[in-house]
């Protein structure tokens, strides 16, 4: 029922404005409000925190449906829920969760996840932002870049260096000393805002620490594992949409006196798209179930992220090709999906970083297959 509802909502409220979101580089405020009211900003979290109680599987089903229409909207929801709020859920104390999650689940507050810095992209451990405990307050200084939702967020899960290592904090926009940079100009997911954030002697209450001091890097990595499943779901949703649009187009476009769907060349592209979708769907929900069972998914999530994000860029390429010149035109949405898909191989750990995680595990296990 969840999936049917999200589909109904997406078809009626998101799909009609998806091209506008891309062109105007903004998700309408009214749409964000509706998404919050429906509960789509807290799908995965337990009901006691105001969430939907649908776990990782439910979250992925919802993201899949939303990305069928609009990757920008899915990226907004993902940065808010599966990393921004999830860092608090995964790493925070019960008090911290009760303090922030209900408002985040209800969409009264929007979250962002702030890890990346100029010198710390793939090498996130190299981050330089620092926090010092002085008179019962953490004083935060530094700069984060490429932060999804920063421009519209009310609070940030920020990772900074403290005496004991990397530590996570919940930082509210109104704590003072925070400035947000202009919107980045991007190739795709243009409706999802990305900005820099700088912290100039920001005072953070002591209790806003996420978990224990020095445990922040582990929290960030665990959070990103959940995020990577979301990227899998976004990839899958876009791929399914591409298959449907392409098969329909091929069955009505005539060249050489016949429908191009008769050509084996077209059928082979549809076959590769279908096969990728089957594999994506299978590995994604296998991993999502493990996540909901509380199992370790570090390798699984990397495999899902790697495979699905690579697959969707091939699928969008095939879809565009099947549409010929019309695929390249902005009258049809193919080029938007093509541009939007590209980020999926970069954020929340590039393709290469996923391979490092998977490869290291293979070496460590001496190639014995076990996930």
Ligand X SMILES: Cc1cc2nc3c(=O)[nH]c(=O)nc-3n(C[C@H](O)[C@H](O)[C@H](O)COP(=O)(O)OP(=O)(O)OC[C@H]3O[C@@H](n4cnc5c(N)ncnc54)[C@H](O)[C@@H]3O)c2cc1C
**146 touching ligand X, by CB under 6 A:** yes
Give dist(CA 51, CA 5) in Å, integer.
16
Of 62, 202, 270, 343, the residue at the interface with ligand X (CB under 6 A) is: 343
**93 touching ligand X, by CB under 6 A:** no
Q: Which does 369 bind (CB under 5 to 8 A by kind): another protein, ligand X, none?
A: none
**253 touching ligand X, by CB under 6 A:** yes
- Other Cβ atoms less than 10 A from the Cβ of 15: the count is 17
- The residues, ordered by sequence, that sit 6+ positions from 113 with a Cβ below 8 Å of its Cβ are 79, 83, 84, 87, 147, 148, 156, 157, 223, 227
**113 touching ligand X, by CB under 6 A:** yes
CB of 97 to another protein, least distance (A): 18
**121 touching ligand X, by CB under 6 A:** yes
Q: Which does 259 bind (CB under 5 to 8 A by kind): another protein, ligand X, none?
A: none
CB of 184 to ligand X, least distance (A): 7
- Other Cβ atoms less than 10 A from the Cβ of 151: the count is 20
CB of 48 to another protein, least distance (A): 12
Nearest residue to ligand X on Cβ basis: 121
Helix, strand, coil percentages in the chain from 3-state DSSP, rounded to 5: 60, 15, 25
Looking at the Cβ atoms of 63 and 167, the one nearer to another protein is 63
**322 touching ligand X, by CB under 6 A:** yes
Buried b (16+ CB within 10 A) or exposed e, 179-197: ebbeebebebbbbbbbbbb
Looking at the Cβ atoms of 57 and 250, the one nearer to ligand X is 250
- What are the residues binding another protein (CB under 8 A)? 1-2, 5, 8-9, 37-40, 42-43, 47, 52-54
CB 27 within 8 A of CB 76: yes
Give dist(CA 89, CA 238) in Å, integer.
28
**85 touching ligand X, by CB under 6 A:** no
**70 touching ligand X, by CB under 6 A:** no
- The residues, ordered by sequence, that sit 6+ positions from 277 with a Cβ below 8 Å of its Cβ are 236, 239, 240, 243, 315
Give dist(CA 203, CA 90) in Å, integer.
23
Q: Which does 116 bind (CB under 5 to 8 A by kind): another protein, ligand X, none?
A: ligand X
Give dist(CA 205, CA 174) in Å, integer.
12
Question: Would strands 137-148 and 165-172 be described as parallel, antiparallel, or unpaired?
Answer: unpaired
Residue identified by tokens 């899902």 is: 304
Question: Which structure tokens are listed for 183?
Answer: 């919107």
Q: Which does 32 bind (CB under 5 to 8 A by kind): ligand X, another protein, none?
A: none
CB of 136 to ligand X, least distance (A): 28
**350 touching ligand X, by CB under 6 A:** yes
Q: Is 348 a catalytic residue?
A: yes
Of 324, 359, 362, 365, the residue at the interface with ligand X (CB under 6 A) is: 324
Residues that contact ligand X, how many (by CB under 6 A)? 34
DSSP 347: T
Residue positions counted in the chain: 371
Residue in 203, 281, 348, 352 annotated catalytic: 348
Of 31, 114, 238, 245, the residue at the interface with ligand X (CB under 6 A) is: 114
List interacting residues with ligand X (CB under 6 A). Answer: 79, 112-116, 121-122, 146-148, 186, 194, 253, 255-256, 260, 263, 265-266, 321-322, 324-326, 328, 343, 346-350, 352-353
Q: Catalytic residue numbers?
A: 348
């Amino acid at each position: 029922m969840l999936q049917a509802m999200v589909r109904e909502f997406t078809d009626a409220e998101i799909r009609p404005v998806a091209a506008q979101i891309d062109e105007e580089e903004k998700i309408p405020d009214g749409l964000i409000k509706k998404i919050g009211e429906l509960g789509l900003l807290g799908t995965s979290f337990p009901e006691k925190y105001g969430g939907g109680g649908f776990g990782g599987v439910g979250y992925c089903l919802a993201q899949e449906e939303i990305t069928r229409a609009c990757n920008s909207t899915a990226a907004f929801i993902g940065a808010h829920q599966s990393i921004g709020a999830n860092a608090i859920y995964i790493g925070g104390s019960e008090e911290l969760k009760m303090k922030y999650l209900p408002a985040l689940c209800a969409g009264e507050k929007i979250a962002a996840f702030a890890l990346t810095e100029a010198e710390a992209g793939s090498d996130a451990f190299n981050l330089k932002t620092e926090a010092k405990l002085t008179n019962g307050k953490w004083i935060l200084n530094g700069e984060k870049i490429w932060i999804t939702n920063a421009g519209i967020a009310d609070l940030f899960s920020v990772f900074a260096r403290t005496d004991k290592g990397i530590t996570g904090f919940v930082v509210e926009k109104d704590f003072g000393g925070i400035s947000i940079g202009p919107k980045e100009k991007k190739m795709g997911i243009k409706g999802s805002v990305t900005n820099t954030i700088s912290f100039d002697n920001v005072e953070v209450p002591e209790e806003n620490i996420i978990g224990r001091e020095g445990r922040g890097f582990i929290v960030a990595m665990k959070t990103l594992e959940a995020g990577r499943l979301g990227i899998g779901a976004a990839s899958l949703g876009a791929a399914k949409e591409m298959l449907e649009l392409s098969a329909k187009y091929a069955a009505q476009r005539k060249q050489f006196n016949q429908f191009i769907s008769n050509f084996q060349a077209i059928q082979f592209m549809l076959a590769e798209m279908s096969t990728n979708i089957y594999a994506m769907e299978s590995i994604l929900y296998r991993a999502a179930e493990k996540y909901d069972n509380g199992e370790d998914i570090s390798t699984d999530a990397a495999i899902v992220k790697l495979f699905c994000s690579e697959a969707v860029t091939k699928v969008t390429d095939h879809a565009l090709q099947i549409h010929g010149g019309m695929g390249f035109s902005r009258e049809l949405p193919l080029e938007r999906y093509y541009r939007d898909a590209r980020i999926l191989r970069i954020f929340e750990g590039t393709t290469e970083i996923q391979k490092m995680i998977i490869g290291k595990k293979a070496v460590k296990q001496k190639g014995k297959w076990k996930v």
